[in-house]
Amino acid sequence: MTEPVRCSWVTSDQIYKDYHDNEWGVPLRGQREMFEKISLEGFQAGLSWLTILKKREEFRRAFEDFDINKVASFGQDKVEQLLSNPGIIRNRLKIHATISNARLVIEKNIDLTELLWSFQPSPGQLANPELLTRSSQSDDLSKELKSLGFKFVGSTTMYALMQSTGIIKSHSKDCFLFS
């Protein structure tokens, strides 16, 4: 059986193929789901997404399935426990950012789905979105999140989040999922 043509960033690794074919670019909504995505994208900064995918299940265990209330309650003991967990990215700044971001969502009563999707570009607004690494919309989303106090939400990171959550349609024209 012939493999379907996928976006060029997909490697031969099955976990990457499965992610591309079943999750990437599929419209995502939900407070917990968006918090998980924004957290994992922050952990990915400077690394490959494949690294995150391979550690995602342990991230989910370690961060209480990204339950915002539980993550917001993490104290120093939990931070130390996370820093000793080889199944996740053990970066103190990224761990603290995830906890801080959870606290901001609660304190400011932020609807992450509504906020993130409010930066969706108009259809056809982005030429060749699969070739971009940022856009005016990801710039604006990054600025908004930073103004609220969020960390690890740079424009390139937010563009990747917008692609992965379907806010921006970015499958390449030759990909079997292009629409």
Q: Say what the pTM is.
A: 0.94
Q: CB neighbours (10 Å) of residue 93? A: 11
Has 49 been annotated as catalytic? yes
Phi first, then psi, for residue 70 (nearest 5°) are -65, -45
Q: What is the pLDDT of residues 57-105, one digit of tens each?
A: 999 999 999 999 999 999 999 999 999 999 999 999 999 999 999 999 9
Single out the catalytic residue among 16, 19, 24, 159.
19
Question: What is the C-alpha to C-alpha distance for residues 34 and 59, in angstroms, rounded to an integer?
Answer: 15
Question: What is the C-alpha to C-alpha distance for residues 27 and 169, in angstroms, rounded to an integer?
Answer: 9
Single out the catalytic residue among 16, 24, 36, 41.
41
User: Which residue segments constitute the domains of the chain, with CATH numbers given?
Assistant: 28-164 (1.10.340.30)
Question: What is the C-alpha to C-alpha distance for residues 58 and 37, in angstroms, rounded to an integer?
Answer: 14
- Whether the CB-CB separation of 112 and 152 falls below 8 Å is answered with no
Q: What is the pLDDT of residues 140-150, one digit of tens each?
A: 999 999 999 99
Angle among Cα 117, 103, 135 to the nearest 5 degrees reads 30
Has 117 been annotated as catalytic? no
Has 41 been annotated as catalytic? yes
